[in-house]
Amino acid sequence: MRITSIKCLFLIAATGALGTLTAAPAAAQGTVRRHMVYFRDKAGTPYSVAQPQAFLSARSVARRTRQGIAVLPRDLPVNPAYVTQVRGVVGKPQVHYTSRWFNAAVVSCDSATLARITSLAAVRGASTLNRSYRAPAAPTAPVQVAPLAARSTVASRAQYGPAYRQNEQIGALEMHDAGYRGEGMQVAVFDAGFPGVDKIPALQALFQDKRLLGTRNFVDGGTSVYQRSSHGTSCLSTMGANQAGFYIGSAPKASFYLCLTEDTNSEHPTEEANWLAAAEYADSAGVDVISSSLGYTTFDAPSKSYTYADMNGRTALSTRAATVAARVGMLVVNAAGNEGDDPWHYISAPADADSIVSVGAVDSLGFHAPFSSYGPTADGRVKPTLSAMGRASAVLGANGSAFRGSGTSYACPILAGMIAGFWQANPTLTAQQVIAALRNTASQATAPDAKLGYGIPSFAKAYNALHPGAPLVPKEEPVEQVERLGVFPNPTGDGQLTLALPADLRGQPLRVRVLDARGAVVAQQELPAAAGSRAPLKLGRLAKGVYVCEVSAGTALQTVKFVQQ
């Protein structure tokens, strides 16, 4: 398992749609492992494509109908009689869940029992998903993180808190101003755990408004997800948090399903099978958008790892699952990966899947984050698809405090929230038309590359391209809203800052000095005159600590403190 935050910073269950996930398998002779057991056909199934309501929710059927997508035999549940045959094999095999799309079941058993299962007439084969069985880890206590050390002094940023810039960069602020905050949209989040979600004040609106629609734990079984890694909590916060004056995410009014698919104790293909099961669960529930900050490249020995040649859109289990998820009308958003400065270098699975949005990471100024994985796919397709802020992103920890973390893990949900709002604003579009609209108006639309793909999308640009007769009118930031010098992101991780300038610092060349805690000047530079309220400042790498940024223009001089992490 690899959660794609750099260096590990961290219901509707239609009958027959997915088999019930159970707890750890009963002891059996020999080593118990998980296997994907594939069936030969769906002959004799009691289900029919003519009656999809028997295994898909009304919302799922409506999503297909709206996009002109037919219910196909691949959508039919596994024949229950075949599952009964597997369960009846000597050796007490445990069926965890079934897969409609792959016509398979995930089963725990020893090798002797597996041999008996594969000898069944209904079974065409099996593959091993893990090489050792590990009991579920005890739930970990929420990780306490330091609160944000300093906040911008710019009044216009007050409502969003430290999440302001990551929302602004992709046009989510304009989206919210236009009245689109994700209302009525459903997002499924696949991750490694969500501790604190049920307690964090900034997420309590999800429960008060009944917008937390369902939870599933595909690792341990059952529905408890407020445990294990807080990585999922942080990713969810970038979309769903909604506490004015502290932190507002990119889709603060959307509804969510939380799916725990990742086991951070090991890395085996069983987690890809969990991803598949979660995607089918999301499909059956009627979810619109999947946000997955997960990626697969190498596995624990002796499971066979992938190679870059496998990143071709048709090999990895999770990639094939993501492709089908796109085919049934969901819009899949997946992190590109954090291997840009590692030997692997390229995107991971399922980011190589066709017809999904694979998200790369940039900093607050729009520059490629060095860790963000590169494209293209092994078969030459442009990846990543789009990019969003994943360097020094503002996220919430399990204890509800804000901090900055880096990874395509965070770029992914930040963008997924905007995509949900964009689809809300354009409900007649198909998922693929939404992707095309954002891609065709992104910052590198005419010259996509292996770093940022088609670039950073803009809600307003994409919306206006679709509605030339009634475009959004951009809102200029009033001068009086910037009364004092501000700086963001704050804290910073790489010395790349944006200055928020009050009126008396505009229209003249700027002189910048940076002083450390002892008052020594550690950096200085001159900037050209700025007509607007912002000016980029690139200081280079500074030692960790508190600094004072001194900016002067003519006789005007103002200072602001910032923290280098």
pLDDT tens-digit profile of 34-57?
999 999 999 989 999 999 999 999
Which range among 129-138, 165-174, 422-431 shows the weakest confidence by mean pLDDT? 129-138
pLDDT interval class at 536 (50, 70, 90): confident
pLDDT at 272 over 60: yes
The reply to whether 266 belongs to the active site is no
Helix (H) / strand (E) containing 459: helix 459-466
pLDDT interval class at 132 (50, 70, 90): low
Query: Mean pLDDT over residues 475-484, rounded?
Result: 56
> Taking a C-beta distance cutoff of 8 angstroms, is the pair 445, 454 a contact?
yes
Q: Catalytic one among 108, 156, 230, 409?
A: 409
> In whole angstroms, what is the distance from residue 401 CA to residue 143 CA?
10
Tokens of 426: 């354009």
pLDDT interval class at 27 (50, 70, 90): very low
> Taking a C-beta distance cutoff of 8 angstroms, is the pair 306, 355 a contact?
no
Q: CB under 8 Å to 4, separation ≥6 — which residues?
A: 293, 294, 295, 335, 336, 337, 338, 348, 407, 408, 409, 412
Phi, psi of 503 (to 5 degrees): -60, -35
Percentage with pLDDT > 90 across the chain: 77
Query: Mean pLDDT over residues 376-384, rounded?
Result: 98
pLDDT at 262 over 70: yes
| String of DSSP letters for 154-194 | -GGGTTTGGGHHHHHHTTHHHHHHTT-S-TT-EEEEEESB-
Query: Mean pLDDT over residues 58-87, rounded?
Result: 98
- pLDDT mean across residues, the chain: 89
Strand partners, 561: 548
Query: Mean pLDDT over residues 124-146, rounded?
Result: 58
Neighbours of 344 (CB within 10 A): 20
pTM of the model: 0.82
Q: Catalytic one among 75, 191, 220, 283?
A: 191
> In whole angstroms, what is the distance from residue 317 CA to residue 468 CA?
42
Q: Where in the chain is the domain with CATH 2.60.40.3080?
A: 479-564
Which range among 38-52, 144-158, 197-211, 372-386 shows the weakest confidence by mean pLDDT? 144-158
pLDDT interval class at 266 (50, 70, 90): confident
| String of DSSP letters for 360-380 | EEE-TTSPBPTTSPB---TT-
Tokens of 505: 């610092």
The reply to whether 230 belongs to the active site is no
pLDDT interval class at 190 (50, 70, 90): very high
Tokens of 453: 């793909």
Residue 137's pLDDT is what?
46
For 82, 189, 205, 215, 453, the CA distances from 201, given in Å and listed in that order, are 47, 19, 8, 19, 36
pLDDT tens-digit profile of 194-234?
999 999 999 999 999 999 999 999 999 999 999 999 999 99
Residue 475's pLDDT is what?
57
Tokens of 452: 């940022």
Residue 482's pLDDT is what?
64
> Taking a C-beta distance cutoff of 8 angstroms, is the pair 425, 253 a contact?
no
Q: Give domain 2-8+158-465's CATH architecture.
A: 3-Layer(aba) Sandwich (3.40)
pLDDT interval class at 30 (50, 70, 90): confident
- For residues 207 and 489, the model is more confident at 207
Beta strands in 464-539 (DSSP E): 486-488, 496-500, 510-515, 521-527, 534-538
Tokens of 196: 């604190």
Residue 368's pLDDT is what?
97
DSSP SS3 for 213: strand
Q: Catalytic one among 231, 368, 387, 533?
A: 231
The reply to whether 387 belongs to the active site is no
Q: Where in the chain is the domain with CATH 3.40.50.200?
A: 2-8+158-465
pLDDT interval class at 2 (50, 70, 90): low
Query: Mean pLDDT over residues 104-131, rounded?
Result: 96
pLDDT interval class at 474 (50, 70, 90): low
- CATH number of the domain at 479-564, out of 2.60.40.3080, 3.10.350.10, 1.20.1740.10, 3.40.50.300? 2.60.40.3080
